Amino acid sequence: MLDLGWSEILVIGVVALIVVGPKDLPKMLRTLGQYAGRAKSIARDFQRSMDDAARQADIEELKEVKKGLDDVRDAQYKMQRDLGQSFLDGPSKSAAKKSDSKSDAAEAKPAKADAGSAPSVAPAVKPAPKSPKKAAKPKAEPKAEKGSVSGA
């Protein structure tokens, strides 16, 4: 604010003492203190009003964010409810819906049999014929060489 050092304040005090006089100096200092207090009060009220305005703007912004989050939560709840309902309905209804959709697709797009396309159902794979297992021949023991001792 004001960059006053101790020496400058001392000079101002001496000049005020000379100009105002020692009799009226305390009265003048009291009046200056009251004005300074009022200025501080006005500055404090201004700061509070600015803080309240900022807080109100934040509250409105937070209300908008909360509304968006509530919308997302409601959408997730609806999806979970629908998923749970389809699970509870069981495979019979879902299978019926799938077969209806397949029959609708088949009616809309007839299959060409001679077009060389692969059949829609894969043919059963036949297992390879089993060959009779040959009896395992026991391995012959190595012949002992002359001069070696075995089993001793």
pLDDT in tens, 54-75: 888 888 888 888 899 999 999 8
How far is residue 121 CA from its own chain's centroid? 44
- When the pLDDT of each residue in the chain is averaged and rounded to a whole number, the result is 75
Contact 112, 120 (CB under 8 A): no
- Residue 28 CB coordination number (10 Å): 13
Model confidence at 130, pLDDT cuts 50, 70, 90, reads low
Q: How far apart are alpha carbons 147 and 28 in whole angstroms?
A: 137
pLDDT in tens, 68-100: 999 999 988 888 888 888 877 776 555 555 555
Q: How far apart are CA 15 and CA 9, in angstroms?
A: 10
pTM: 0.37
